[in-house]
Amino acid sequence: MKNADINYADLPRELLGFFPTPLIELTKLSQKLDGPKIFMKRDDNTGLALGGNKTRKLEYIIGDALAQGADTIITAGAAQSNHCRQTAAAAASLGLECHLVLGGQEPNHANGNLLLDKIFGCHIHWAGSNRKGEDIPKIVEQLKKEGKKPYIVPYGGSNERGALAFVEAFRELESQRQSMNISLTHIIFASSSGGTHAGLMLGNKIFNTAYQIVGINIDKGETDKVPFDQYIVALANSTATLIGAEYDFSASDLILNSDYVGEGYGVIGTLENEAIAMTAQTEGILVDPVYTGRAMGGLIDMIRSGKIKKTDSVLFWHTGGAPALFAYADNLEVTQQN
């Protein structure tokens, strides 16, 4: 691989967030678990409309939309999609019309991310069981008939440009890590549409760091057309091609841990409840019920079960999501962690 050939500085990028996000150490959580050093990359603080990992991806994706002359943005997600909320905010800030195709039926009361989508003034299309954007093509046709120039932001912002944002994020991390003079063995994060995972895998190669890049799988993926593990590997490869990196990832390069999917997407169990309470009560930091609570629960379990050792040094990549806490209030069981 020729590092010198890697170039993405020429790809359009629209600045939407505040970077770098902080890199902090969670000493009290580590003590509580009698575990390894734990660091946290605070992408819950990306600065766009309550933050999250989609802000990074949208900088490159919306950059492309503007370069193509789009005036309307359309994307899809769950009713409590953090991706849709950040897309709605980005569109509002740039004067673009925004359409969201959300799974399920319209609830009686908008709360959490959905409330914010409405505040950002976007058009919401309820899609029932088509929760991954199956309805987008027909809405795009309609928008074109109305004379608009729609641009489709992929589900979860997970295409090559979205994944590329996490190569850039990896560069940001490495620069912070070196100036803080710390070492890492693992990066742990919630993996759901694959862009974060593909980008971090690629960054790990480009920067020659050899960390264990451990995605905690969030969704059982029962409706996926392409199995999720294959999707991530293919996206890592096509992202490498986009930026001129000569890598050929195969299934054996991927670490996708599916031990914690529980009852499926968005179903909160003991794992998530404990992780939410423990992170809040030891560190004063919020993780969310759907993604980061599950991933943090996975990290806690891997430390307790010895899969991650006391001598390791772990980075938890906080990908955001806390606005969903309010929408899931009735499903949460908050316990006192003494």
Active site residues: 81
Of 36, 103, 195, 298, which lies in the binding site for ligand PLP, with binding defined by CB under 6 A?
Answer: 195
Q: Is 196 in the site for ligand PLP (CB under 6 A)?
A: yes
Question: Least distance from C-beta 175 to ligand PLP, angstroms?
Answer: 22
Q: Is 52 in the site for ligand PLP (CB under 6 A)?
A: yes
DSSP 218-257: ----TT-SS-HHHHHHHHHHHHHHHTT------GGG-EEE
Contacts of 205 (CB under 8 A, 6+ apart): 1, 245, 247
| Rounded alpha-carbon distances, angstroms, from residue 46 to 2, 19, 25, 187, 252 | 31, 7, 18, 18, 32
Q: Is 56 in the site for ligand PLP (CB under 6 A)?
A: no
Question: Least distance from C-beta 142 to ligand PLP, angstroms?
Answer: 27
| In contact, 26 and 40? CB cutoff 8 Å | yes
In terms of CB distance, is 143 or 169 closer to ligand PLP? 169
Q: Pick out residues in 203-262 that bind ligand PLP (CB under 6 A).
A: none
Q: Is 82 in the site for ligand PLP (CB under 6 A)?
A: yes
Of 21, 217, 237, 319, which lies in the binding site for ligand PLP, with binding defined by CB under 6 A?
Answer: 319
Q: What is the dihedral of CA 170, 172, 177, 183, to 10 degrees?
A: 0
SS3 146: coil
In terms of CB distance, is 35 or 194 closer to ligand PLP? 194
| In contact, 289 and 272? CB cutoff 8 Å | yes
Q: Is 279 in the site for ligand PLP (CB under 6 A)?
A: no
* Total site size for ligand PLP, rule CB under 6 A: 21
Under DSSP, the state recorded for 35 is -
Interface residues with ligand PLP (CB under 6 A) are: 52-54, 82-83, 156, 158, 190-197, 288, 291-292, 319-321
